A and B are shown apart, each in its own frame.
Chain A
Amino acid sequence: MRFPKPWTKKRGKRLLGGTLYGVVGESVFFAALFLVGIFTLALMLFLRFGSASRFVSDSISEAMPDAFPGAAAATGEASSSGLGFWIVTVLSLAMIAVGGGAMFYRLLSVGASDERRKVFARRATSIDFPPAEASDLQSLPSVPQGRGVTDSPGVHLAYRLASEGSMARRTIAVAALALLWNAAWFVLLAVVVSGFLNGQPRWVLGFLLLPFAGIGFWAFKYFLDALKQTAGVGATIVEISSHPLHPGRSYDLFIAQAGRLSLRRLRVELICEEETMFRQGTDVRIDRHVALSKILCTDRDLSIDPHRPWEQELQLDLPADAMHSFRSANNAVCWRITVSGDARPWPSFCLNFPVFVHPPLRFQTPRPR
């Protein structure tokens, strides 16, 4: 006979132990939380407003005056102190809400299949939930619409794509890190120096300053690299003739790279990437895999100056069997155009411009701009 274990362990998709014990354990825990909340709330209300509170204090002090000399005073204080009363009351209400709500939600899912739970969840997210067929046919479920991409009109082509992340924002973040760390280091240095001057040297702190200085040097060097990259590498412009993209069609691309730099290599690439999110123990991890990579243009040994940016017009042919952009809670298929440069002595750079691929639709009319 196998006794049920109070713990369980997930090994891949296999779960040791029955789910029934999990449901029972969770329900008991939340029920206990709910009841403790009810008890503490009732106790506080009784002590605060009930006439028996005085009776309790008096009886305690009368029964054990020597053992608990402060009992009467403490009970009276707890019931009369406004702040204490409200803190305990709020905690009790929170326990009642969390315990009751979680137990109710847990019990709702008992006996329901995965599909039925999903339908419940979907209905809960939209009050006026239309029939599945009607809503799904009007839109493209699980396909990002990418409306933000068409917000910026282009100069040469219809739309100017926005890059993912900004180099200036990264430089500001790195600058803040370097400045704060080095400022803290100088404060500690002042403490150590003042200790020596006062004849009370702080040796431990003094030795700790050495590794701290190394971190400060690394942060400052990282800041200088980011600054050089931002200052040297100018704006990267990517414009596209139409959006969203559809498999099997061709699009015009316009790429421009400004700045004052010499590049060993500049590459424009179309990338389709699978992205998955999974839980490993208590960690949430993301894994990516490039499913399709198509080099649109590679140029070597370039010299770019502010008055003569590098410009190129390209054609983007999307494969007919290309998977459309897809996003769900834990998985995604993302498309993007990347512009990467190998620059010396400047640091190399790589900018991503997300695009969205929609599945081919019947009776689809292109949106003119």
Chain B
Amino acid sequence: MTVELCHADGKYEAGQPLRACWQVGQTTIDEVVGVEASVLWFTEGKGDEDLHVHHFVRWNDMQLQDLDLNAQHPIECVLPHSPVSYAGTLLRIHWCVRVRLFRSVGRECVTQQPFYLVGGFNDAEPSVYS
């Protein structure tokens, strides 16, 4: 299972659209009962994890009948202005596109593609304090 972002450098401006594509290979439609794709941020560090889902799409087994899992499927959303990606000492904020595949047999499969959400200026860099 792969997730590809439309920006090769993985850097997105706040308030701008994001487009990503996900693809499941080597799996038949009978083995899959659901797929979830989400654009989210989560925290990492000393504190307990916070997670916020900005964009969420779910395909159930009926909807999956119309999908070709071997082809690429787009996820599109407009990114919010905050929180921007952050790498501090106690706290880090990560953005990612996460795709979760539910199988009829066996454990679910998760793939995520991280990206940077930077401030609303073109030359902005992810905030880093250490």
Contacts and interface: CB of A to CB of B under 8 A. Distances in A.
B6 interface: no
B121 A360 contact: yes
Given A119-B56, A142-B83, A287-B47, A113 B77 contact: no
Contacts of B3: none
B63 interface: no
Nearest to B56: A119
Interface residues of B, number: 43
Given A116-B36, A359-B14, A141 B83 contact: yes
A367 interface: no
Interface stretch (B24-32, B66-74, B122-130): B122-130
B106 to A, nearest CB: 14
Contacts of A133: 55, 77-78
B82 interface: yes
Contact of B15 (A272, A329, A362): A362
Contacts of B50: 328-331
A267 B125 CA distance: 31
A240 interface: no
Interface residues of A, number: 44
B77 A361 contact: no
B36 A359 contact: no
Contact of B82 (A114, A274, A326): A326
B129 A323 contact: yes
A292 interface: yes
Interface string A111-143: 001111011001000000000110011001111
B3 to A, nearest CB: 14
A113 B108 contact: yes
Given A359-B14, A361-B81, A331 B45 contact: yes
B9 interface: no
8 contacts: A115-B38, A118-B40, A137-B81, A142-B82, A289-B89, A326-B82, A333-B88, A359-B84
Closest 3 CB pairs of A and B: A276-B47, A136-B80, A328-B50
Interface of A: 113-116, 118-119, 122, 132-133, 136-137, 140-143, 247, 272, 274-279, 287-289, 291-292, 320-324, 326, 328-331, 333, 358-362
